[in-house]
Amino acid sequence: MRRAILAAGLGLAVAGCSTPGFRNRSDLVVEPSACTAKRFEVYFTEGEARLTGPARQAIGMTAAQLQGCDIRKVQVLGLASATGDAASNLSLSQRRALAVAEALAAAGWPAPAFDVDAAGDTGAVADSGVQEPMRRRTEVLIDAAPRS
């Protein structure tokens, strides 16, 4: 008797799956657009503004992902660690930002969309006095949308 009740309950559960109005999964799941805001970082060797192999790879991958998108704005911010004097660090972070912007422009991104800035070593030392080595980078923020 218990089997009959379970079987009857199972039958109701299965029957409930075919209710009118149920939509196909492909109607509900949408492929995300590659043309959305993106953020990535490019890291540099200490004291260098030359793009490394992994940096070129990150730039190339992002450029390929956004190929065919409307690139509205690209913010490139160069940073430097606190080693050396402030003027040298500002110059270094400017060169880093410019190197990344030039690589993105060479990949076909629109030059007028670039906002290139540098922060030098500002914020490179924490309140505790510890240097922040991860400041040897350039941050890239991209505002992209599908072409209309």
| Residue 107 forms part of a structural domain | yes
| Residue 58 forms part of a structural domain | yes
What are 51-106's pLDDT values in tens digits? 999 999 999 999 999 988 999 999 999 998 888 888 999 999 999 999 999 999 99
Structural domain containing residue 109: 35-146
Distance CA 88, CA 9 (A): 76
Question: What is the DSSP annotation of 34-60?
Answer: S-S-EEEEEE--TT--SPPHHHHHHHH
| Residue 75 forms part of a structural domain | yes
- In CATH, what number is assigned to the domain containing residue 91? 3.30.1330.60
| Residue 8 forms part of a structural domain | no
- Kindly tell me if the per-residue pLDDT of 38 is higher than 80: yes
The pTM of this model reads 0.72
| Residue 134 forms part of a structural domain | yes
The amino acid present at 62, given as its one-letter code, is: T
What are 7-28's pLDDT values in tens digits? 444 444 444 455 566 666 666 5
pLDDT recorded at residue 6: 46
Instruction: Tell me the two tokens of residue 1.
Output: 């008797």
Band (pLDDT 50/70/90 cuts) for residue 111 is confident
Domain count, the chain: 1
Write down the H helix ranges in the chain: 2-16, 25-28, 53-65, 86-106
| Residue 115 forms part of a structural domain | yes
* Contact between residue 37 and residue 142 where contact means Cβ atoms under 8 Å apart: yes
| Residue 116 forms part of a structural domain | yes
Distance CA 148, CA 33 (A): 13
pLDDT recorded at residue 12: 45
| Residue 137 forms part of a structural domain | yes
